[in-house]
Amino acid sequence: MSGVGARYFEDFKPGDRVESGRLTVSDALITEFGRFYDAQVFHTDPEAAKTTVYGGLIASGLQTIAITFKLFLETGTVAACSLGSPGLDEIRWKTPVRPGDTLHVVAEVLETRPSASKPDRGIVRMLFTTVNQHGDAVMTLIGNQLCRRRPG
């Protein structure tokens, strides 16, 4: 699925992989999200975070999910076909995300399945691995993407 041009359901095959661009996570990005959505000191206060088990500021795991889809969306992989998603499975946080970390995402197609009820679409099940600048997986999750079939 890593070619050019609009991709539809038929263009996704198990084993296909796409890699996103990079995002460097700043203190401000972490604390801005943390203060509203996940107000625990290790997400909101760089000084107080030093006294916690994490030894410093880390990104909310919920923010890591959001960054993962930002980076994937920006690849344009599902720009032509996306009809949204019924849900996500098996989100696993593996390594804390710290200020200065540079993240990218690798998405791999696990399975494709035509919709049983709607002939114009199918589901593409993908494993997303979010990786830091050291090559460590910081998070994995499985996404279920509703994709249009190629028109005509």
Residues that bind its own copies (CB under 8 A): 33, 36-40, 53, 60-63, 65-67, 69-70, 73, 82-93
Task: Report the distance separating Cα 7 and Cα 149, nearest Å.
Answer: 9
| Neighbouring-strand partners of residue 111 | 125
Identify which of residues 46 and 121 has a Cβ nearer to its own copies in the complex: 121
Task: Report the distance separating Cα 32 and Cα 23, nearest Å.
Answer: 16
- Shortest separation between residue 32's beta carbon and its own copies, angstroms: 10
- Shortest separation between residue 43's beta carbon and its own copies, angstroms: 10
- CB-CB contact of 109 with 36 (8 Å): no
φ, ψ dihedrals at 103, nearest 5°? -105, 145
Identify which of residues 13 and 55 has a Cβ nearer to its own copies in the complex: 55
- Shortest separation between residue 96's beta carbon and its own copies, angstroms: 9
Identify which of residues 12 and 93 has a Cβ nearer to its own copies in the complex: 93
Q: Do the strands 137-148 and 121-131 form a parallel or antiparallel pair, or are they unpaired?
A: antiparallel
Identify which of residues 46 and 144 has a Cβ nearer to its own copies in the complex: 144
